[in-house]
Amino acid sequence: MLTPTERAEAAVRLLEQEYPDAICALQYKKDYELLFATRLSAQCTDARVNIVTKELYTRFPSLESFAAATPDEIEAIIRPCGLGKTKARDLHAAAQYLLEHHDGKVPGTMEELLKIPGVGRKTANLILGDLYGKPAIVADTHCIRLSNRIGLVDGIKEPGRLERALRPIVPPAASNDFCHRLVLHGRAVCTARKPMCDKCCLREICKTGSETT
């Protein structure tokens, strides 16, 4: 019987072999663009976000242009991502906040990131991992689903609790890429409705997969 730490280390190794290129699916060129895209991805697919942000960053090519726009102008473009009014308000306020408090740069600490309007721990962790190369656990829907199925945790569905549970067992240096690979695996194999356990690279160490053997 594997311990959670042993299972996590094995999952890190096996997913690295299966998905050697662990990259964020959200497209961006500037630091704040990743911040905004992650906010837009809430209850929306990365593919749709990438379509929307292409137009968004053309219409508003700088933080200054975002800050000078009205939330309604931003919402008109991001509406396909859902929650348009809330997300537009957050992007507008975040642009103003970054210009006022950080000279237009996205900060690199959890404490400072969480002060930005619309930024929660999921977004903050993604920024810390992808922009600053720091250990990060991005507790999105894929991470929650797969962590429970594999047996890294048992019945933990709340993102904050999951993050706290995974940090001690996932090697810190591998944590950010591990979360990206969970997304890739969750989309390709360990899907929400019909997981393809017979094709899963984690089956031998997966608590759920081993039960179906």
> Residues 172-206: pLDDT tens digits?
999 999 999 999 999 999 999 999 999 999 999 99
Query: Does residue 123 share a domain with residue 45?
Result: yes
Query: Does residue 148 share a domain with residue 125?
Result: no
Query: Does residue 123 share a domain with residue 62?
Result: yes
Q: Is residue 209 scored above 80 in pLDDT?
A: no
pLDDT at 42: 94
Q: Residue 81 annotated as binding? A: no
Domain carrying residue 157? 4-22+139-211
pLDDT at 79: 98
Q: Residue 206 annotated as binding? A: yes
Give CA–CA dist 14/205, Å, rounded.
10
- Asked about 103 being catalytic, the answer comes back as no
Q: Residue 201 annotated as binding? A: no
pLDDT at 213: 43
Tally: H helices and E strands in the chain: 12, 0
Query: Does residue 156 share a domain with residue 126?
Result: no
Q: Do 7 and 47 form a contact (C-beta atoms < 8 A)?
A: no
Q: Residue 197 annotated as binding? A: yes
Query: Does residue 80 share a domain with residue 9?
Result: no
- Asked about 105 being catalytic, the answer comes back as no
CATH number at residue 174: 1.10.1670.10
Does pTM surpass 0.85?
Answer: yes
**Residues 123-177: pLDDT tens digits?**
999 999 999 999 999 999 999 999 999 999 999 999 999 999 999 999 999 999 9
Query: Does residue 37 share a domain with residue 66?
Result: yes
Distances in Å between the Cα of 147 and the Cα atoms of 2, 41, 74, 125, 143 are 14, 21, 36, 17, 6
Please give the tally of structural domains in the chain: 2
Query: Does residue 160 share a domain with residue 194?
Result: yes
Give CA–CA dist 137/119, Å, rounded.
15
Q: Which of 87, 90, 122, 177 is catalytic?
A: 122
Of 114, 132, 150, which one is at a domain's C-terminal end? Answer: 132
Q: Which of 140, 154, 194, 198 is catalytic?
A: 140
